[in-house]
């Protein structure tokens, strides 16, 4: 899994972190959550704000 696999990432976040409100998560925390997903194999430094915004927006949409 890579940073650009937004839907796969969000599926994992929903399954493993249902207690977290994606509207209130800090990008620094989101970055670490994603990086620690089992099977995630991308470089930590390849992440940027645009990627995190996409993940957060998709996570919010999927919960609605």
Which whole number is the average pLDDT over 37-53? 96
Q: How far is CA 28 from CA 3, 25, 48, 61, in A?
A: 14, 8, 10, 20
- Domain 6-63, CATH among 3.40.50.150, 3.30.930.10, 1.10.10.600, 3.30.1330.10: 1.10.10.600
Q: How confident is the model at residue 57 (pLDDT cuts 50, 70, 90)?
A: very high
Which whole number is the average pLDDT over 53-63? 97
Q: Is 10 exposed, middle or buried (0-12, 13-18, 19+ CB in 10 A)?
A: buried
Q: How confident is the model at residue 51 (pLDDT cuts 50, 70, 90)?
A: very high
Q: In whole numbers, what is the pLDDT of the chain averaged over residues?
A: 97
Predicted model pTM: 0.94
Question: What are the boundaries of each domain within the chain?
Answer: 6-63
Q: Which of 45, 47, 43, 64 is nearest to 55 (CA)?
A: 47
């Amino acid at each position: 899994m890579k940073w650009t696999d937004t839907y796969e990432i969000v599926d994992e976040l929903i399954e493993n972190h249902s207690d977290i409100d994606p509207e209130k998560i800090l990008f620094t925390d989101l970055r670490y959550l994603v990086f620690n997903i089992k099977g995630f194999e991308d470089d930590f430094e390849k992440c940027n704000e645009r990627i995190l915004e996409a993940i957060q927006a998709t996570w919010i949409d999927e919960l609605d």
